[in-house]
């Protein structure tokens, strides 16, 4: 894989813009109690939930908890299950730690990362070593991910080379309300389409997996 060698080369540009002269926009700033709640659809039918919860400690540390639970079945029989639980901690806009555990239909992976000076020390199923401290996790809530060329997998710690292009402007329906949003396409191990509104809030996601269309629908604007 493209692990440390490519990351060292990319360290100075971990927040690289989509184009050389296009700066990344300011990210959305979460408040304690905020929640991003998506209903996940598979081929247009309910498939599970993807929920991010935000909390702040007295010292200002931001904690981001991600809970993903997807399940497909035939009648009462479950034939596929995916779960991800991760916790990020941020201080002054910088990632200071990450822990994550994933069960992909019985295939279990994990990652733990801690900030040490200008690097993150990562212990993951897919990668153990260092990464730039300004790398963005693959949890998608931070729009700066769209202006990066590498991201940290919250599943297994892999350092994923990414390519992002801005597709254009769309209107996303959220609770019966039409919300203008920027449409991005992120290409890595899979290709994912993401939408962010003018406040930098993540409002939609779509991709194809195993020939099946997956769509995230935001339950309400946060």
**HEC states along 10-73?**
HHHHCCCCCCCCCCCCCCCCCCCCCEEEEEEEECCEEEEEEEEEEEECCCCCEEEEEEEEEEEE
Decide if 216 is inside a domain.
no
Query: Is the distance from CB of 181 to CB of 197 less than 8 angstroms?
Result: yes
Decide if 176 is inside a domain.
no
Give me the mean pLDDT over the 32-47 stretch.
97
Decide if 62 is inside a domain.
yes
In the prediction, which pLDDT does 74 show?
Answer: 76
Give me the mean pLDDT over the 205-213 stretch.
92
Residue 7's pLDDT band, with cuts at 50, 70 and 90, is very low
3-state secondary structure of 147: helix
Decide if 10 is inside a domain.
yes
CA–CA gap between residue 115 and residue 17 (Å, rounded): 23
In the prediction, which pLDDT does 128 show?
Answer: 98
How many structural domains are present in the chain?
1
User: Rounded to the nearest 5 degrees, what angle is found at the Cα of 183, between the Cα atoms of 179 and 186?
Assistant: 145
Among 206, 197, 192, 195, smallest CA distance to 153 is for 192
Name the CA radius of gyration of the chain, rounded.
Answer: 17
Decide if 67 is inside a domain.
yes
In the prediction, which pLDDT does 79 show?
Answer: 84
In the prediction, which pLDDT does 18 show?
Answer: 62
CA–CA gap between residue 193 and residue 214 (Å, rounded): 10
Decide if 9 is inside a domain.
yes
Query: Is the distance from CB of 33 to CB of 205 less than 8 angstroms?
Result: no
Cα distances from 199 to residues 32, 119, 125, 185, 196, in angstroms, run 17, 29, 35, 19, 8
Decide if 188 is inside a domain.
no
pTM: 0.88
Containing domain of residue 7, as a range?
A: 3-23+31-162
CA–CA gap between residue 4 and residue 200 (Å, rounded): 30
CA–CA gap between residue 191 and residue 11 (Å, rounded): 23
Query: Is the distance from CB of 90 to CB of 120 less than 8 angstroms?
Result: no
**149 membership: H or E segment, kind and range:** none
Inform me whether the pLDDT recorded for 2 exceeds 90. no
Give me the mean pLDDT over the 133-154 stretch.
96
Decide if 211 is inside a domain.
no
């Amino acid at each position: 894989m493209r692990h440390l060698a490519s990351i060292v080369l990319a360290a100075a540009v971990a927040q690289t813009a989509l184009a050389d002269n296009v700066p990344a926009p300011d990210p959305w700033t979460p408040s304690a109690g905020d929640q991003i709640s998506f209903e996940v659809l598979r081929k247009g039918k309910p498939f599970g939930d993807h929920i991010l919860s935000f909390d702040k400690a007295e010292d200002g540390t931001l904690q981001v908890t991600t809970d993903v639970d997807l399940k497909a079945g035939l009648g009462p029989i479950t034939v596929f299950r995916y779960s991800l639980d991760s916790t990020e901690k941020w201080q002054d806009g910088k990632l200071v730690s990450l822990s994550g555990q994933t069960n992909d239909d019985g295939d279990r992976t994990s990652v733990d990362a801690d900030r040490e000076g200008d690097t993150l020390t990562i212990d993951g199923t897919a990668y153990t070593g260092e990464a730039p401290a300004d790398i963005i996790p693959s949890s998608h809530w931070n729009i700066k991910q769209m202006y990066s060329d590498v991201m940290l997998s919250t599943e297994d710690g892999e350092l994923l080379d990414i390519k992002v292009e801005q597709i254009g402007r769309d209107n996303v329906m959220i609770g019966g309300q039409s919300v203008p949003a920027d449409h991005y396409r992120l290409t890595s191990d899979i290709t994912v389409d993401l939408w962010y509104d003018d406040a930098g809030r993540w409002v939609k996601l779509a991709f194809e997996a195993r020939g099946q269309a997956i769509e995230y629908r935001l339950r309400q604007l946060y």
